[in-house]
Structure 1
Amino acid sequence: MVQRRWHRFAGRHAHTGPRHARPSGISELLARPQKRTWQAFTTGLGIFAMLGVCGLSSFFIVADERQGRDAQASGAPPQVSVLRDISSREVDPEPLTPAEVFPGPEVVVDPARPAYRVLATRADRRCATAASGDIGVLLTDLGCAQVVRGTLRAPAGGYLVTAGIFNLDDVAGADWAREKIKSMVDGEHGRFQGLRAGKGTEAIVLSSARVGWHVRGHFLVYCVTARADGRPIPPGDAGAGQILTDMLELYLRGTVLEKRAVVSPSP
């Protein structure tokens, strides 16, 4: 009797079980299409992104090929810069000229700023005319063959400027001069000479001028700056510092000697 009752209970339980399990089966059936839809969406999104990347890459390739064809059709060769050796006067024998150093009435260092106005230019074979004392002797001993210089009026601040280039034998001599000149200037055993450019420019030849110098190749570049009213330039003067940077780094080294050191071959 006990076993028979148990079997009846078990049968009733087995019969009623599926009725309660039916909702979960329906939920599973409903979830499967949603899962397939999400998988299809993410798969499609990945394919779309991949096609977008491939399409963009193809666009760049086609654009590059099109530019190459256009360049060939126009007959314009690619611009190639070739370096010219300016390490010595032996390999760079062409002398400097005022037209090379100061080709126009103005010196434009930065198109966003006003230009420097060129007042006078001069070329000398005797380098001692632009450097006095021990500096002149040193440059002569190092084989200085010429100096080209010019006097300019700065666009602001009432400054006068003399900037120039000494043409030495080789880069070793130029580097040696750069190192030795500082002690000569500090000890007042020599100085760079400003170039007078008519009335109102007398201050450029005064001893109170600010000076700077640098080298590139076998050339020594220098700059003399003075106030047009003859007053001394105070230490740390921002205007004078900007002039030295403009003339030495940006113009004489970065423009004039850059053109001499870099050759753009003709087609």
Structure 2
Amino acid sequence: MSATPRDLRLSVVVPVRNEAGNIAALVAEIGAACSDLAPFEVIYVDDGSGDGTAAALAAAQAGRPWLRVLHHARVGGQSAAVRSGVTAARSAIIATLDGDGQNDPAFIPALFAALVEGGPGAGLAQGQRVGRKDGWLKSLQSRIANGVRGRILKDATRDTGCGLKVFRRDVYLVLPYFDALHRFMPALVVREGLSVVLRDVVDRPRFTGRSNYGLFDRLWVGLLDLAGVWWLIRRRRPAPAVAETSPTVSPPC
């Protein structure tokens, strides 16, 4: 008997674009890593790929009823793909990871446990990469971006760009949506009055292919996003308490 949406413990969302060569191996790894978290679902979001990603995903679905596939008609970006997956997810807890193989899904259970142990006040379990396998230029860009972001937002997170995250679906859906949201989730979760749990995860080289992002995506556009998130945090005001009064009922004569 298949699990109903209410039974699902975890939804894993994987955004991909032009990652045909990485689909089969990573899907198998995710299935093995999440076996103890069953029942679960995995949602791949194909963000307008122009290679054989769609065909590779169709092949991977054979014999895997827990694997769902969504397609964007055109490229929307990583944050748009994550949002499509989270919106379609049927579990109250979501895990995300990048589709290139650099994020090891073996760390999903530990992040899941950290979020659950944090209780209702924890909104996000954020992975922080150690042993980065990126080239020196990409690593330098990330260090600069994370350093600047940390000084301005004071989110106490050294690696918000890590795709390995586990969070509550309802928390994500109340965050202000914008392109590159996934890189600022810790600061925005704290903005909602919730805590962020940090766990180290071991980075590894991408399976095949090359990154879809360059210097402009990671640094200059990131500075504009940073200014916007800083403004959102500064403008946050706690919602006032709300009380409802009942009408006074006169006693019968």
On whether the aligned pair clears a TM of 0.5, the verdict is no
With CA pairs under 8 Å and 6+ residues apart, which has the higher RCO, 1 or 2?
2
TM-score computed with the length of structure 2 as normaliser: 0.24
Higher-Rg structure is 1
TM-score computed with the length of structure 1 as normaliser: 0.23
